[in-house]
Amino acid sequence: MNSNADKDYIDAKVEGLDARLAAASGTSDAKFGAVDARFDAVNTRFDAVNTRFDATDAKLESIIAMMVEMRSALEAKIESAFQRATSQMVKWMVGVLAAGITIVVTVMTFVLNNAIPKAQPPAPVAPAAAAVPAVLIQVTPQGLTVQPLTPAAPVAPPVKP
């Protein structure tokens, strides 16, 4: 085999394949052009649908933003109601505790003061020298008269057996 002849043979074969490929490429380009034209027609319809989808997305985003605002406002209302209820509960618990302590102290004081009878303290005996006779004043139609009373007899101490 001659290398020049082989080269010419291979070149001829490659040129034949190139020609067939170019012919096939021209027909495929025409086919792809037709497909592209159909896709362009479909894309115009899709553009209208995409426009509607974009408008719907914008509406949905505004609705979501409104819902987020409503949720935050509702959370703030719930938080303030919870704080108000907590302060009311603390106020009532402190009031009930103070009233309970007052009642317990009052009842215990009354019970301890009145439950045990107290011994009567001995009556103080006035010394005999310090005894002053009582004076009775009577008003009569003629005028004023003062009569001394006789002092009471001193009490004798009890006799021990």
Please give the average per-residue pLDDT across 45-60, as a whole number.
87
pLDDT digits (tens, 9 = 90+) for 100-124: 999 999 999 998 888 777 777 777 7
Please give the average per-residue pLDDT across 82-90, as a whole number.
96
Mean pLDDT of the chain: 80
What is the pLDDT, as a whole number, of residue 32? 76
Torsion of CA 53, 59, 62, 66, to 10 degrees: -130
Please give the average per-residue pLDDT across 24-49, as a whole number.
76
Please state whether 159 falls in left (phi above 0), alpha (psi between -120 and 50) or beta: beta
| 116 against 84, higher pLDDT | 84
Please give the average per-residue pLDDT across 84-95, as a whole number.
96
Pick the range with the lowest mean pLDDT from 7-11, 102-106, 130-134. 130-134
User: pLDDT exceeding 70 applies to what percent of the chain?
Assistant: 75
Q: Rounded CA gap, 125 and 74, in Å?
A: 84
Q: What is the 3-state secondary structure (H, E, C) of the chain?
A: CCHHHHHHHHHHHHHHHHHHHHHHHHHHHHHHHHHHHHHHHHHHHHHHHHHHHHHHHHHHHHHHHHHHHHHHHHHHHHHHHHHHHHHHHHHHHHHHHHHHHHHHHHHHHHHHHHCCCCCCCCCCCCCHHHCCCCEEEEEECCEEEEEECCCCCCCCCCCCC
How does residue 92 score in pLDDT terms, banded at 50, 70 and 90? very high
Say yes or no to pLDDT of 25 above 90.
no
